[in-house]
Amino acid sequence: MTFIGWMKKKKKLAEKLFEYRIKYNAGSYHSVMDSYHYFMAKNSKEALDSHESMLKKKGLIVQNIYIEKFNPYSGKWSERQNL
């Protein structure tokens, strides 16, 4: 067993993930029915990429309306970005 001394190994901190929701519409023939998908991501681009990947995998074609970020301190959805 070796003595390390006063040196401590730095822990690698994981990047904080935020909750995003994407409002989308199923298509022109379902124009009244808007839905949401929720994602945990580092930023809005990553959340949108995950959303598009999931749609491609399932073979769905939708109209994306906007993306919002959840603010855990106020408990409200904010930072709306129209798509």
- Domain segments of the chain as ranges: 18-82
Per-residue pLDDT at 2: 58
Per-residue pLDDT at 77: 93
Per-residue pLDDT of the chain (83 residues; tens, 9 = 90+): 555 566 666 777 888 899 999 999 987 676 678 899 999 999 999 999 999 999 999 998 899 999 999 999 999 998 888 87
SS3 for 28-65 is: HHHCCCEEEEEEEECCHHHHHHHHHHHHHHHCCCCEEE
Per-residue pLDDT at 83: 76
Integer angstrom CA distances of residue 29 from 33, 38, 47, 69: 9, 23, 26, 28
